[in-house]
Amino acid sequence: MVRKGVSRISISVPPELLKEFDLLVKEIGYDRSKAVQKAMRNFITEYKFRELEGEGVGALLVLYDHEVPGLDSLLTDVQHSYEDVITSSMHIHLDKRRCLEIIAVKGELGRIQDLAKKLASKRGVIQFKQAVIAK
């Protein structure tokens, strides 16, 4: 039975991710539905800046598996295409497989959003986070 004003969805996730998610949900006192709703709201908020116009500043964080063939050079090539909005970047080796790239951005919000989409969509990117604000 579906309650009025509520939609039911089904998603597929790796078992390890679900286990970690459920542990955290229990720890903070949420149920799965509330936690997924909060995650969806956060996701929308993070990507909402694409509707803004003008200039912005911020940081893009890219956690990736550097053992994925060609990913290192692909991420570098993408960054070279956006030198007009990238002011700096830092590369951190986390362990044998994972690296974190922190990219400082400043410039036209549309260009920053294009860069974010290109980086986040690459195979081998484990997690992508952005914090961008309008100037």
Quote the pLDDT of residue 106. Answer: 97
Residue spans per domain, the chain: 15-47, 53-134
Q: What is the DSSP letter of 2?
A: P
Q: Are 60 and 130 within 8 A, CB to CB? A: yes
Tens digit of pLDDT per residue, the chain (135 long)? Answer: 555 788 889 999 999 999 999 999 999 999 999 999 988 887 776 666 556 678 989 999 999 999 999 999 999 999 999 999 999 999 999 999 999 999 999 999 999 999 999 999 999 999 999 988 877
Quote the pLDDT of residue 111. Answer: 94
Quote the pLDDT of residue 41. Answer: 81
Quote the pLDDT of residue 73. Answer: 94
Quote the pLDDT of residue 47. Answer: 65
Task: Look up the CATH superfamily of 53-134.
Answer: ACT-like. Chain A, domain 2 (3.30.70.1150)
Retrieve residue 115's tokens: 């860069």
Quote the pLDDT of residue 5. Answer: 82
Q: Which residues of 47-85 are buried (b: 16+ CB within 10 A; e: fewer)?
A: eebeeeeeebbbbbebebebeeeebbebbeebbeebeeb
Backbone angles phi, psi at 78, to 5 degrees: -60, -45
pTM here?
0.69
Quote the pLDDT of residue 68. Answer: 96
